Amino acid sequence: MSPILETRGLSRSFHGLRAVHDVDFALEAGEIRALIGPNGAGKTTFVSMLIGRLAADAGQVIFEGRDITALPDHRRVALGMAYTFQITSVFSRLTAAENVALAARRRLGGDRAAVAREVATALERTGLAGQGEVAAEDLSYGHQRLLEIAMGLAQHPRLLILDEPTQGLAETEIAAFKALVRDLAGQTTILLIEHNMAVVMELAHRITVLNFGEVLAEGTPAAIRADRAVQEAYLGTEAAHG
Amino acid sequence: MRASLALHLGLVAVLFALNFVLPAYAHGNIARVMTLAVYAIGYNIAFGYTGLLSLGHAMFFAAGMYGAGLLLRFTDAGAVAAFGVALACGAGLALVTGLLALRTAGVSFMIVTLMFSQACALAILYFAEYTRGDEGFVIAAASRVVAGHDLGDAQVRYLAAWALFSAAFLFSLWLVNRPMGKVLVAIRENEPRARLLGYDTFRLKLGALVISGMVSAASGAGYGLFFGYAGASFAGVQYSIFPLLWVLLGGAGTVIGPFLGTLFMFYLIDLSSGITDAYMLIAGVALIGLTLFAPQGIAGELRRRAWRGLP
Protein backbone atom coordinates (compact mmCIF):
# COMPACT_ATOMS: atom_id res chain seq x y z
CA MET A 1 0.00 0.00 0.00
CA SER A 2 1.29 3.45 -0.84
CA PRO A 3 1.50 5.97 1.98
CA ILE A 4 -1.13 8.71 2.29
CA LEU A 5 1.53 11.22 3.25
CA GLU A 6 5.23 11.25 2.59
CA THR A 7 8.07 13.69 3.05
CA ARG A 8 11.44 13.53 1.35
CA GLY A 9 14.40 15.42 2.70
CA LEU A 10 12.15 17.99 4.39
CA SER A 11 14.24 20.74 6.00
CA ARG A 12 13.74 24.12 7.60
CA SER A 13 16.14 26.41 9.44
CA PHE A 14 15.56 29.52 11.50
CA HIS A 15 18.51 31.93 11.52
CA GLY A 16 20.94 29.11 10.94
CA LEU A 17 19.36 26.84 13.52
CA ARG A 18 18.28 23.59 11.89
CA ALA A 19 14.77 23.11 13.29
CA VAL A 20 14.00 20.24 10.94
CA HIS A 21 16.70 18.56 8.94
CA ASP A 22 16.38 16.14 6.03
CA VAL A 23 13.35 14.27 7.32
CA ASP A 24 12.06 11.31 5.31
CA PHE A 25 8.72 10.28 6.70
CA ALA A 26 5.86 8.08 5.51
CA LEU A 27 2.40 7.65 6.94
CA GLU A 28 0.20 4.71 5.95
CA ALA A 29 -3.49 5.32 5.32
CA GLY A 30 -5.65 4.42 8.32
CA GLU A 31 -2.89 4.36 10.90
CA ILE A 32 -2.57 6.35 14.09
CA ARG A 33 0.93 7.72 14.23
CA ALA A 34 2.37 9.57 17.17
CA LEU A 35 5.12 12.12 16.72
CA ILE A 36 7.09 12.63 19.90
CA GLY A 37 10.31 14.26 20.97
CA PRO A 38 11.70 16.60 23.59
CA ASN A 39 10.73 20.28 23.58
CA GLY A 40 12.37 22.01 20.66
CA ALA A 41 12.82 18.79 18.68
CA GLY A 42 11.06 20.36 15.69
CA LYS A 43 7.68 18.62 15.94
CA THR A 44 5.53 21.69 15.39
CA THR A 45 7.86 23.03 12.69
CA PHE A 46 7.59 19.68 10.93
CA VAL A 47 3.79 19.50 10.94
CA SER A 48 3.56 23.20 10.05
CA MET A 49 5.38 22.32 6.84
CA LEU A 50 3.03 19.40 6.26
CA ILE A 51 -0.05 21.62 6.43
CA GLY A 52 1.61 24.59 4.73
CA ARG A 53 1.73 27.16 7.51
CA LEU A 54 5.49 27.23 7.02
CA ALA A 55 7.36 26.91 3.75
CA ALA A 56 10.08 24.27 3.58
CA ASP A 57 13.63 25.32 2.78
CA ALA A 58 14.20 22.04 1.00
CA GLY A 59 12.46 18.73 0.39
CA GLN A 60 9.04 17.62 -0.69
CA VAL A 61 5.65 16.91 0.87
CA ILE A 62 3.56 14.34 -0.98
CA PHE A 63 -0.10 13.79 -0.12
CA GLU A 64 -1.93 10.89 -1.77
CA GLY A 65 0.72 10.67 -4.43
CA ARG A 66 0.62 14.36 -5.29
CA ASP A 67 3.47 16.78 -4.63
CA ILE A 68 1.88 19.52 -2.54
CA THR A 69 5.08 21.29 -1.48
CA ALA A 70 4.18 24.43 -3.43
CA LEU A 71 0.50 24.58 -2.46
CA PRO A 72 -0.73 27.18 0.04
CA ASP A 73 -2.27 25.95 3.28
CA HIS A 74 -5.92 26.40 2.27
CA ARG A 75 -5.44 24.29 -0.85
CA ARG A 76 -3.92 21.47 1.21
CA VAL A 77 -6.88 21.58 3.58
CA ALA A 78 -9.23 21.49 0.60
CA LEU A 79 -7.44 18.34 -0.57
CA GLY A 80 -8.38 16.53 2.65
CA MET A 81 -5.88 17.46 5.34
CA ALA A 82 -6.95 19.06 8.61
CA TYR A 83 -4.95 20.58 11.41
CA THR A 84 -5.86 21.42 14.97
CA PHE A 85 -3.74 24.08 16.60
CA GLN A 86 -1.46 23.53 19.56
CA ILE A 87 -2.22 27.01 20.82
CA THR A 88 -5.98 27.14 20.67
CA SER A 89 -7.05 29.16 17.67
CA VAL A 90 -10.83 29.22 17.52
CA PHE A 91 -13.12 32.07 16.46
CA SER A 92 -13.43 33.31 20.00
CA ARG A 93 -16.33 35.72 19.58
CA LEU A 94 -18.44 33.24 17.62
CA THR A 95 -20.47 30.46 19.20
CA ALA A 96 -19.10 26.94 19.43
CA ALA A 97 -21.71 25.78 16.92
CA GLU A 98 -20.74 28.50 14.43
CA ASN A 99 -17.07 27.53 14.81
CA VAL A 100 -17.86 23.97 13.84
CA ALA A 101 -20.30 25.11 11.14
CA LEU A 102 -17.51 27.12 9.50
CA ALA A 103 -15.42 23.97 9.40
CA ALA A 104 -18.28 21.96 7.89
CA ARG A 105 -19.52 24.57 5.43
CA ARG A 106 -16.57 24.52 3.08
CA ARG A 107 -17.49 20.94 2.23
CA LEU A 108 -21.28 21.15 2.56
CA GLY A 109 -21.85 24.67 1.23
CA GLY A 110 -25.27 26.22 1.72
CA ASP A 111 -27.04 23.01 2.75
CA ARG A 112 -28.23 24.26 6.14
CA ALA A 113 -29.72 20.95 7.29
CA ALA A 114 -26.57 19.00 6.50
CA VAL A 115 -24.41 21.60 8.24
CA ALA A 116 -26.65 21.52 11.32
CA ARG A 117 -26.43 17.70 11.40
CA GLU A 118 -22.66 17.78 11.05
CA VAL A 119 -22.35 20.38 13.83
CA ALA A 120 -24.54 18.36 16.18
CA THR A 121 -22.55 15.19 15.47
CA ALA A 122 -19.15 16.81 15.94
CA LEU A 123 -20.17 18.51 19.19
CA GLU A 124 -21.71 15.28 20.45
CA ARG A 125 -18.61 13.22 19.68
CA THR A 126 -16.31 15.67 21.46
CA GLY A 127 -18.57 15.90 24.50
CA LEU A 128 -19.60 19.47 23.77
CA ALA A 129 -23.28 18.79 23.13
CA GLY A 130 -25.29 21.46 24.91
CA GLN A 131 -22.47 24.03 24.61
CA GLY A 132 -23.28 24.93 21.02
CA GLU A 133 -24.68 28.36 21.76
CA VAL A 134 -21.86 29.38 24.10
CA ALA A 135 -19.35 31.86 22.68
CA ALA A 136 -16.04 30.06 22.18
CA GLU A 137 -14.22 32.54 24.43
CA ASP A 138 -16.57 31.65 27.30
CA LEU A 139 -15.71 27.95 27.12
CA SER A 140 -13.15 26.59 29.55
CA TYR A 141 -9.67 26.01 28.16
CA GLY A 142 -10.21 22.27 27.98
CA HIS A 143 -13.48 22.75 26.13
CA GLN A 144 -11.79 25.08 23.65
CA ARG A 145 -9.29 22.30 22.96
CA LEU A 146 -12.19 19.92 22.36
CA LEU A 147 -13.79 22.51 20.09
CA GLU A 148 -10.59 22.49 18.01
CA ILE A 149 -10.98 18.74 17.63
CA ALA A 150 -14.67 19.11 16.76
CA MET A 151 -13.68 21.55 14.00
CA GLY A 152 -11.19 18.96 12.75
CA LEU A 153 -13.86 16.24 12.70
CA ALA A 154 -16.43 18.38 10.91
CA GLN A 155 -14.10 18.66 7.94
CA HIS A 156 -14.10 14.87 7.43
CA PRO A 157 -10.42 14.95 6.60
CA ARG A 158 -8.56 11.95 5.25
CA LEU A 159 -5.58 13.05 7.32
CA LEU A 160 -6.08 14.69 10.69
CA ILE A 161 -3.08 16.31 12.35
CA LEU A 162 -3.61 16.88 16.05
CA ASP A 163 -1.03 19.15 17.68
CA GLU A 164 -0.91 18.34 21.40
CA PRO A 165 -4.65 17.75 21.69
CA THR A 166 -4.69 16.60 25.32
CA GLN A 167 -2.74 19.55 26.69
CA GLY A 168 -4.88 21.15 29.39
CA LEU A 169 -7.54 18.45 29.39
CA ALA A 170 -8.80 16.88 32.61
CA GLU A 171 -8.36 13.11 33.18
CA THR A 172 -11.95 12.32 32.26
CA GLU A 173 -11.66 14.41 29.10
CA ILE A 174 -8.47 12.59 28.16
CA ALA A 175 -10.26 9.27 28.53
CA ALA A 176 -13.05 10.53 26.28
CA PHE A 177 -10.46 11.80 23.80
CA LYS A 178 -8.78 8.40 23.64
CA ALA A 179 -12.11 6.74 22.97
CA LEU A 180 -12.81 9.28 20.22
CA VAL A 181 -9.47 8.71 18.47
CA ARG A 182 -9.89 4.94 18.63
CA ASP A 183 -13.31 5.41 17.14
CA LEU A 184 -11.85 7.50 14.31
CA ALA A 185 -9.16 4.98 13.46
CA GLY A 186 -10.04 3.28 10.22
CA GLN A 187 -12.09 6.24 9.02
CA THR A 188 -9.19 8.63 8.86
CA THR A 189 -5.45 8.70 9.26
CA ILE A 190 -4.24 10.46 12.38
CA LEU A 191 -0.95 12.13 13.10
CA LEU A 192 -0.74 12.92 16.76
CA ILE A 193 1.83 15.18 18.36
CA GLU A 194 1.64 14.41 22.01
CA HIS A 195 3.53 14.88 25.24
CA ASN A 196 1.38 12.62 27.33
CA MET A 197 3.19 9.26 27.10
CA ALA A 198 0.27 7.27 28.44
CA VAL A 199 -1.90 8.57 25.60
CA VAL A 200 0.82 7.90 23.02
CA MET A 201 1.56 4.36 24.17
CA GLU A 202 -2.09 3.50 24.31
CA LEU A 203 -3.25 4.98 20.99
CA ALA A 204 -0.41 4.91 18.52
CA HIS A 205 0.10 2.08 16.08
CA ARG A 206 3.55 3.41 15.39
CA ILE A 207 5.67 6.17 16.88
CA THR A 208 8.17 8.49 15.24
CA VAL A 209 10.69 10.17 17.54
CA LEU A 210 12.22 13.48 16.51
CA ASN A 211 15.32 14.83 18.19
CA PHE A 212 17.25 17.96 17.13
CA GLY A 213 15.15 18.10 13.97
CA GLU A 214 16.00 14.59 12.80
CA VAL A 215 14.25 11.27 12.99
CA LEU A 216 15.84 9.42 15.89
CA ALA A 217 13.72 6.29 15.81
CA GLU A 218 10.52 4.87 14.45
CA GLY A 219 8.58 1.77 15.42
CA THR A 220 5.82 0.23 17.47
CA PRO A 221 5.20 1.56 20.98
CA ALA A 222 6.92 -1.49 22.47
CA ALA A 223 9.98 -1.07 20.25
CA ILE A 224 10.23 2.63 21.01
CA ARG A 225 9.91 1.98 24.71
CA ALA A 226 12.80 -0.48 24.49
CA ASP A 227 14.98 1.74 22.29
CA ARG A 228 18.11 2.80 24.14
CA ALA A 229 18.70 5.96 22.10
CA VAL A 230 15.16 7.12 22.66
CA GLN A 231 15.41 6.50 26.35
CA GLU A 232 18.51 8.59 26.55
CA ALA A 233 17.29 11.40 24.38
CA TYR A 234 13.79 11.65 25.59
CA LEU A 235 12.27 9.27 28.05
CA GLY A 236 15.38 9.44 30.19
CA THR A 237 15.27 13.17 30.59
CA GLU A 238 11.53 12.96 31.12
CA ALA A 239 12.04 10.42 33.90
CA ALA A 240 14.79 12.48 35.46
CA HIS A 241 12.42 15.43 35.73
CA GLY A 242 10.00 13.26 37.51
CA MET B 1 -34.32 34.78 12.06
CA ARG B 2 -37.99 35.67 11.74
CA ALA B 3 -37.66 38.58 14.18
CA SER B 4 -34.66 39.89 12.28
CA LEU B 5 -36.52 39.72 8.98
CA ALA B 6 -39.43 41.58 10.60
CA LEU B 7 -37.08 44.30 11.89
CA HIS B 8 -35.38 44.87 8.55
CA LEU B 9 -38.52 44.66 6.42
CA GLY B 10 -40.19 46.87 9.02
CA LEU B 11 -37.59 49.60 8.54
CA VAL B 12 -38.06 49.41 4.77
CA ALA B 13 -41.83 49.72 5.21
CA VAL B 14 -41.55 52.64 7.65
CA LEU B 15 -39.25 54.53 5.30
CA PHE B 16 -41.71 53.97 2.48
CA ALA B 17 -44.61 55.25 4.58
CA LEU B 18 -42.62 58.32 5.65
CA ASN B 19 -42.72 59.48 2.04
CA PHE B 20 -46.37 60.39 2.49
CA VAL B 21 -46.25 62.04 5.91
CA LEU B 22 -42.93 63.88 6.24
CA PRO B 23 -42.82 67.67 5.93
CA ALA B 24 -40.82 68.90 2.94
CA TYR B 25 -37.56 69.62 4.75
CA ALA B 26 -37.36 66.28 6.55
CA HIS B 27 -38.55 64.55 3.37
CA GLY B 28 -35.50 65.87 1.51
CA ASN B 29 -33.21 65.00 4.40
CA ILE B 30 -34.33 61.41 4.63
CA ALA B 31 -33.91 60.95 0.88
CA ARG B 32 -30.33 62.16 1.28
CA VAL B 33 -29.73 59.96 4.36
CA MET B 34 -31.04 56.87 2.55
CA THR B 35 -28.77 57.55 -0.42
CA LEU B 36 -25.71 58.04 1.78
CA ALA B 37 -26.66 55.05 3.95
CA VAL B 38 -26.13 52.89 0.84
CA TYR B 39 -22.53 54.12 0.90
CA ALA B 40 -22.27 53.12 4.57
CA ILE B 41 -23.78 49.71 3.77
CA GLY B 42 -21.13 49.19 1.10
CA TYR B 43 -18.38 50.26 3.46
CA ASN B 44 -19.72 47.98 6.19
CA ILE B 45 -19.37 44.90 3.96
CA ALA B 46 -15.61 45.52 3.74
CA PHE B 47 -14.95 47.00 7.17
CA GLY B 48 -17.70 45.71 9.45
CA TYR B 49 -17.97 42.16 8.18
CA THR B 50 -14.61 41.40 6.60
CA GLY B 51 -12.41 43.56 8.84
CA LEU B 52 -10.86 45.49 5.92
CA LEU B 53 -10.24 48.96 7.27
CA SER B 54 -10.10 51.03 4.10
CA LEU B 55 -9.35 54.74 4.12
CA GLY B 56 -10.01 55.09 0.43
CA HIS B 57 -13.64 54.29 -0.19
CA ALA B 58 -14.29 57.78 -1.56
CA MET B 59 -12.75 56.54 -4.81
CA PHE B 60 -15.55 54.00 -5.18
CA PHE B 61 -18.22 56.56 -4.30
CA ALA B 62 -16.66 58.96 -6.80
CA ALA B 63 -16.28 56.21 -9.41
CA GLY B 64 -20.05 55.78 -9.29
CA MET B 65 -20.77 59.50 -9.26
CA TYR B 66 -18.38 60.34 -12.12
CA GLY B 67 -19.04 57.11 -14.01
CA ALA B 68 -22.71 58.02 -14.23
CA GLY B 69 -22.20 61.79 -14.42
CA LEU B 70 -19.63 61.86 -17.22
CA LEU B 71 -21.62 59.41 -19.30
CA LEU B 72 -24.67 61.67 -19.05
CA ARG B 73 -22.60 64.77 -19.69
CA PHE B 74 -21.10 63.53 -22.93
CA THR B 75 -23.68 61.07 -24.27
CA ASP B 76 -27.42 60.67 -24.12
CA ALA B 77 -27.25 57.13 -22.77
CA GLY B 78 -29.94 57.77 -20.17
CA ALA B 79 -30.03 57.46 -16.38
CA VAL B 80 -30.52 53.69 -16.25
CA ALA B 81 -27.52 52.94 -18.45
CA ALA B 82 -25.49 55.50 -16.50
CA PHE B 83 -26.33 53.73 -13.29
CA GLY B 84 -25.22 50.40 -14.76
CA VAL B 85 -21.96 51.90 -15.96
CA ALA B 86 -21.42 53.40 -12.50
CA LEU B 87 -21.73 49.95 -10.88
CA ALA B 88 -19.23 48.52 -13.35
CA CYS B 89 -16.83 51.40 -12.62
CA GLY B 90 -17.03 50.81 -8.87
CA ALA B 91 -16.60 47.04 -9.17
CA GLY B 92 -13.76 47.35 -11.69
CA LEU B 93 -11.88 49.90 -9.62
CA ALA B 94 -12.34 47.77 -6.50
CA LEU B 95 -11.04 44.72 -8.34
CA VAL B 96 -7.88 46.47 -9.49
CA THR B 97 -7.31 48.17 -6.15
CA GLY B 98 -7.99 44.96 -4.26
CA LEU B 99 -5.60 42.84 -6.32
CA LEU B 100 -2.80 45.16 -5.22
CA ALA B 101 -3.92 46.50 -1.82
CA LEU B 102 -5.00 43.11 -0.43
CA ARG B 103 -1.39 41.98 -0.53
CA THR B 104 -1.09 44.15 2.54
CA ALA B 105 -3.06 44.14 5.78
CA GLY B 106 -3.76 46.38 8.74
CA VAL B 107 -2.07 49.77 8.71
CA SER B 108 -0.43 49.15 5.33
CA PHE B 109 -3.83 48.40 3.84
CA MET B 110 -5.15 51.69 5.22
CA ILE B 111 -2.26 53.61 3.69
CA VAL B 112 -2.42 51.86 0.32
CA THR B 113 -6.17 52.42 -0.05
CA LEU B 114 -5.73 56.05 1.01
CA MET B 115 -3.07 56.52 -1.65
CA PHE B 116 -5.18 54.91 -4.38
CA SER B 117 -8.05 57.14 -3.42
CA GLN B 118 -5.88 60.26 -3.50
CA ALA B 119 -4.66 59.25 -6.94
CA CYS B 120 -8.29 59.06 -8.09
CA ALA B 121 -9.10 62.44 -6.56
CA LEU B 122 -6.09 63.97 -8.30
CA ALA B 123 -7.08 62.34 -11.57
CA ILE B 124 -10.43 64.10 -11.34
CA LEU B 125 -8.65 67.43 -10.94
CA TYR B 126 -6.10 66.63 -13.63
CA PHE B 127 -8.68 65.82 -16.27
CA ALA B 128 -10.49 69.08 -15.62
CA GLU B 129 -11.25 69.37 -19.33
CA TYR B 130 -13.83 66.61 -18.85
CA THR B 131 -14.60 66.78 -15.14
CA ARG B 132 -14.40 70.57 -14.65
CA GLY B 133 -12.02 69.86 -11.77
CA ASP B 134 -12.78 71.51 -8.46
CA GLU B 135 -16.00 73.11 -9.57
CA GLY B 136 -17.60 69.89 -10.66
CA PHE B 137 -20.52 69.90 -13.03
CA VAL B 138 -24.27 69.86 -12.96
CA ILE B 139 -25.93 66.73 -14.29
CA ALA B 140 -28.61 68.07 -16.59
CA ALA B 141 -32.17 67.64 -15.42
CA ALA B 142 -33.18 66.35 -18.84
CA SER B 143 -30.89 63.34 -18.48
CA ARG B 144 -32.05 62.46 -14.96
CA VAL B 145 -35.24 60.79 -16.06
CA VAL B 146 -36.23 57.17 -15.51
CA ALA B 147 -39.19 55.83 -17.51
CA GLY B 148 -40.69 59.29 -17.77
CA HIS B 149 -40.22 60.08 -14.07
CA ASP B 150 -38.08 63.08 -13.26
CA LEU B 151 -35.55 62.22 -10.52
CA GLY B 152 -35.41 65.93 -9.64
CA ASP B 153 -39.01 65.77 -8.43
CA ALA B 154 -39.11 65.42 -4.62
CA GLN B 155 -41.55 62.49 -4.64
CA VAL B 156 -39.74 60.58 -7.36
CA ARG B 157 -36.39 61.28 -5.78
CA TYR B 158 -37.52 60.03 -2.39
CA LEU B 159 -38.93 56.82 -3.85
CA ALA B 160 -35.87 56.24 -6.00
CA ALA B 161 -33.61 56.74 -2.98
CA TRP B 162 -35.88 54.42 -1.00
CA ALA B 163 -35.68 51.74 -3.71
CA LEU B 164 -31.89 52.03 -3.89
CA PHE B 165 -31.58 51.88 -0.13
CA SER B 166 -33.97 48.93 0.22
CA ALA B 167 -32.13 46.97 -2.45
CA ALA B 168 -28.71 47.53 -0.83
CA PHE B 169 -30.07 46.96 2.68
CA LEU B 170 -31.84 43.68 1.90
CA PHE B 171 -28.92 42.56 -0.26
CA SER B 172 -26.55 42.98 2.67
CA LEU B 173 -28.97 41.12 4.97
CA TRP B 174 -29.07 38.30 2.43
CA LEU B 175 -25.31 38.29 1.99
CA VAL B 176 -24.43 38.03 5.67
CA ASN B 177 -26.76 35.07 6.07
CA ARG B 178 -25.16 33.26 3.16
CA PRO B 179 -22.19 30.93 3.76
CA MET B 180 -20.00 33.58 2.14
CA GLY B 181 -21.09 36.21 4.66
CA LYS B 182 -20.27 33.85 7.52
CA VAL B 183 -16.81 33.17 6.15
CA LEU B 184 -16.20 36.92 5.84
CA VAL B 185 -16.90 37.19 9.58
CA ALA B 186 -14.52 34.28 10.16
CA ILE B 187 -11.82 36.12 8.20
CA ARG B 188 -12.41 39.23 10.30
CA GLU B 189 -12.16 37.22 13.51
CA ASN B 190 -9.19 35.00 12.71
CA GLU B 191 -7.89 34.87 9.16
CA PRO B 192 -5.16 32.22 9.62
CA ARG B 193 -7.74 29.87 11.11
CA ALA B 194 -10.14 30.49 8.24
CA ARG B 195 -7.38 29.60 5.82
CA LEU B 196 -6.68 26.39 7.71
CA LEU B 197 -10.33 25.46 7.34
CA GLY B 198 -9.63 25.45 3.62
CA TYR B 199 -10.98 28.87 2.64
CA ASP B 200 -9.13 30.91 0.05
CA THR B 201 -9.21 34.09 2.11
CA PHE B 202 -7.53 36.27 -0.51
CA ARG B 203 -10.22 35.53 -3.05
CA LEU B 204 -12.98 35.99 -0.50
CA LYS B 205 -11.58 39.33 0.66
CA LEU B 206 -11.28 40.42 -2.96
CA GLY B 207 -14.89 39.41 -3.53
CA ALA B 208 -16.00 41.36 -0.47
CA LEU B 209 -14.08 44.43 -1.62
CA VAL B 210 -15.59 44.26 -5.12
CA ILE B 211 -19.10 44.00 -3.68
CA SER B 212 -18.30 46.82 -1.27
CA GLY B 213 -16.93 49.01 -4.06
CA MET B 214 -19.94 48.31 -6.24
CA VAL B 215 -22.45 49.19 -3.52
CA SER B 216 -20.47 52.35 -2.70
CA ALA B 217 -20.53 53.27 -6.39
CA ALA B 218 -24.29 52.72 -6.45
CA SER B 219 -24.57 55.29 -3.69
CA GLY B 220 -22.32 57.74 -5.54
CA ALA B 221 -24.29 57.32 -8.75
CA GLY B 222 -27.56 57.71 -6.87
CA TYR B 223 -26.32 60.86 -5.20
CA GLY B 224 -25.32 62.34 -8.55
CA LEU B 225 -28.54 61.35 -10.27
CA PHE B 226 -30.89 62.40 -7.45
CA PHE B 227 -29.24 65.69 -6.55
CA GLY B 228 -27.88 66.60 -9.99
CA TYR B 229 -24.27 67.36 -9.25
CA ALA B 230 -20.85 65.68 -9.41
CA GLY B 231 -17.95 67.34 -7.59
CA ALA B 232 -14.34 66.57 -6.72
CA SER B 233 -14.95 67.06 -2.98
CA PHE B 234 -16.84 63.75 -2.99
CA ALA B 235 -13.56 62.02 -3.89
CA GLY B 236 -11.63 63.65 -1.03
CA VAL B 237 -10.33 62.11 2.17
CA GLN B 238 -13.30 63.45 4.08
CA TYR B 239 -15.64 61.23 2.08
CA SER B 240 -13.49 58.22 2.93
CA ILE B 241 -13.76 59.02 6.64
CA PHE B 242 -17.52 59.61 6.64
CA PRO B 243 -18.61 56.02 6.00
CA LEU B 244 -16.14 54.82 8.63
CA LEU B 245 -17.72 57.17 11.15
CA TRP B 246 -21.27 56.27 10.16
CA VAL B 247 -20.54 52.55 10.43
CA LEU B 248 -18.71 52.90 13.75
CA LEU B 249 -21.54 54.97 15.22
CA GLY B 250 -24.31 52.74 13.94
CA GLY B 251 -22.57 49.47 14.70
CA ALA B 252 -19.91 47.83 12.52
CA GLY B 253 -20.84 44.35 11.43
CA THR B 254 -24.58 44.85 11.78
CA VAL B 255 -26.96 45.15 8.85
CA ILE B 256 -29.00 48.00 10.29
CA GLY B 257 -26.05 49.88 11.82
CA PRO B 258 -24.93 51.80 8.71
CA PHE B 259 -28.40 53.35 8.32
CA LEU B 260 -28.65 54.25 12.01
CA GLY B 261 -25.16 55.77 11.98
CA THR B 262 -25.81 57.84 8.86
CA LEU B 263 -29.14 59.07 10.21
CA PHE B 264 -27.65 59.89 13.62
CA MET B 265 -24.67 61.78 12.22
CA PHE B 266 -26.80 63.69 9.70
CA TYR B 267 -29.23 64.94 12.33
CA LEU B 268 -26.49 65.51 14.88
CA ILE B 269 -24.87 68.02 12.52
CA ASP B 270 -28.19 69.37 11.29
CA LEU B 271 -29.57 70.02 14.79
CA SER B 272 -26.36 71.28 16.37
CA SER B 273 -25.76 73.71 13.51
CA GLY B 274 -29.17 75.17 14.35
CA ILE B 275 -27.94 75.95 17.87
CA THR B 276 -24.46 77.32 17.28
CA ASP B 277 -21.90 78.05 14.59
CA ALA B 278 -19.47 75.79 16.43
CA TYR B 279 -21.68 72.80 15.61
CA MET B 280 -18.70 70.50 15.09
CA LEU B 281 -17.96 70.98 18.78
CA ILE B 282 -21.31 69.54 19.76
CA ALA B 283 -20.98 66.79 17.18
CA GLY B 284 -17.51 65.99 18.48
CA VAL B 285 -18.65 65.72 22.09
CA ALA B 286 -21.54 63.47 21.08
CA LEU B 287 -19.19 61.26 19.09
CA ILE B 288 -16.76 60.96 21.99
CA GLY B 289 -19.64 60.10 24.32
CA LEU B 290 -20.88 57.39 22.01
CA THR B 291 -17.38 55.95 21.59
CA LEU B 292 -16.96 55.85 25.35
CA PHE B 293 -20.30 54.42 26.32
CA ALA B 294 -21.29 52.44 23.25
CA PRO B 295 -18.04 51.42 21.59
CA GLN B 296 -19.85 48.85 19.46
CA GLY B 297 -22.13 51.52 18.01
CA ILE B 298 -25.88 51.80 18.36
CA ALA B 299 -26.86 48.47 16.84
CA GLY B 300 -23.76 46.78 18.28
CA GLU B 301 -24.84 47.85 21.75
CA LEU B 302 -28.34 46.55 21.05
CA ARG B 303 -26.84 43.22 20.03
CA ARG B 304 -24.65 43.06 23.12
CA ARG B 305 -27.37 43.92 25.60
CA ALA B 306 -30.59 42.60 24.23
CA TRP B 307 -30.52 40.85 20.90
CA ARG B 308 -27.63 38.46 20.43
CA GLY B 309 -28.75 37.07 17.12
CA LEU B 310 -29.06 40.49 15.41
CA PRO B 311 -27.35 40.02 12.03
* pLDDT, mean over chain B: 92
**Separation in Å, CA A110 to CA A116, B145, B182, B189:** 11, 40, 11, 21
**Pairwise CA distance, residues B186 & B191, whole Å:** 7
pLDDT, tens digit, 9 for 90 and up, residues B203-260: 999 999 999 999 999 999 999 999 989 999 999 999 999 999 999 999 999 999 999 9
Residues of B in contact with A91 (CB under 8 A): 185-186, 189-190, 193
pLDDT in 10s for each residue of chain A, 242 residues? 579 999 999 999 998 888 999 999 999 999 999 999 888 888 999 999 999 999 999 999 999 999 999 999 999 999 999 998 877 789 999 999 999 999 999 989 878 999 999 999 999 998 899 898 999 999 988 889 889 999 999 999 999 999 988 888 888 889 888 988 988 887 899 999 998 888 999 999 999 999 888 989 899 998 888 888 888 776 555 544 43
The conformation of residue A95, written as its DSSP 8-state character, comes to B
Q: Which string of b and e fits A20-50 if b means at least 16 CB within 10 Å? A: bbebebebeeebbbbbbbbeebbbbbbbbbb
Mutate to test the interface with B, among A63, A102, A107, A134 (most CBs of B within 10 A): A102
* Helix B237-250 and helix B257-275, axial crossing angle in degrees, nearest 10: 110
Chain A interface includes B198 (CB < 8 A): yes
- In this prediction, residue B150 carries a pLDDT of 84
B178, B189, B193: residue with CB nearest A93: B189
Among the listed residues A172, A174, A119, A189, the one whose alpha carbon sits nearest the alpha carbon of residue A147: A119
Please list every residue in chain B whose beta carbon sits closer than 8 Å to the beta carbon of residue A101: 182
SS (H, E, C) chain B: CHHHHHHHHHHHHHHHHHHHHCCHHHHHHHHHHHHHHHHHHHHHHHHHHCCCCCCCCHHHHHHHHHHHHHHHHHCCCCHHHHHHHHHHHHHHHHHHHHHHHCCCCCHHHHHHHHHHHHHHHHHHHHCHHHHCHHHCEECCHHHCEECCEECCCHHHHHHHHHHHHHHHHHHHHHHHHCHHHHHHHHHHHCHHHHHCCCCCHHHHHHHHHHHHHHHHHHHHHHHHHHHCEECHHHHCHHHHHHHHHHHHHHCCCCCCHHHHHHHHHHHHHHHHHHHCCCHHHHHHHHHHHHHHHCCCHHHHHHHHHCCCCCC
Range(s) of the domain holding residue A122: 86-156
- Cβ–Cβ of B193/A110 closer than 8 Å? no
B162-207 pLDDT per residue, tens: 999 999 999 999 999 999 999 999 999 999 999 999 999 999 999 9
**Which of B178, B182, B195 minimises the CB distance to A74?**
B195
Question: Is residue B192 within 8 angstroms of chain A, CB to CB?
Answer: yes
Distance CA A173, CA A167 (A): 11
In chain B, the percentage of residues whose pLDDT exceeds 90 is 68
Q: Which of B103, B196, B308 to mutate to test the interface with A (most CBs of A within 10 A)?
A: B196
CA–CA distance, A201 with A221 (Å, rounded to integer): 6
Q: Which helix (H) or strand (E) holds A238?
A: helix A236-241
Q: Specify whether the CB–CB gap between A24 and A9 falls below 8 A.
A: yes
pLDDT at A241: 46
Q: Could you state, in order of their start, the residue ranges of all structural domains in chain B?
A: 2-236
- For an interface test with A, give the residue of B183, B197, B203, B310 to mutate (most A CBs within 10 A): B197
A207 to chain B, minimum CA–CA distance in Å?
25
- Which residues in chain B have their CB less than 8 angstroms from residue A93's CB? 189
Angle at B22 between CA B25 and CA B153, to 5 degrees: 65
Give the nearest chain B residue to A74 (CA atoms).
B198
Of A35, A24, A20, nearest to A86 (Cα)?
A: A35
Residue in B178, B179, B198 closest to A77 by CB? B198
Q: CA of A73: which chain B residue's CA is closest?
A: B196
Does B24 or A110 have the greater pLDDT score? B24
CB B178 to CB A110 under 8 A? yes
Chain A contact present for B178, CB below 8 A: yes
pLDDT digits 0-9 by tens, B88-117? 999 999 999 999 999 998 899 999 999 999
CA angle, B48 as apex, B35 and B307 as ends, to 5°?
95
Q: Is residue A118 part of a domain?
A: yes
Q: Do A77 and B196 touch (CB under 8 A)?
A: yes
> Does residue A121 fall inside a structural domain?
yes
Instruction: Identify the residue among A53, A89, A106 best suited for mutation to test binding to B, counting B beta carbons within 10 A and taking the highest.
Output: A106
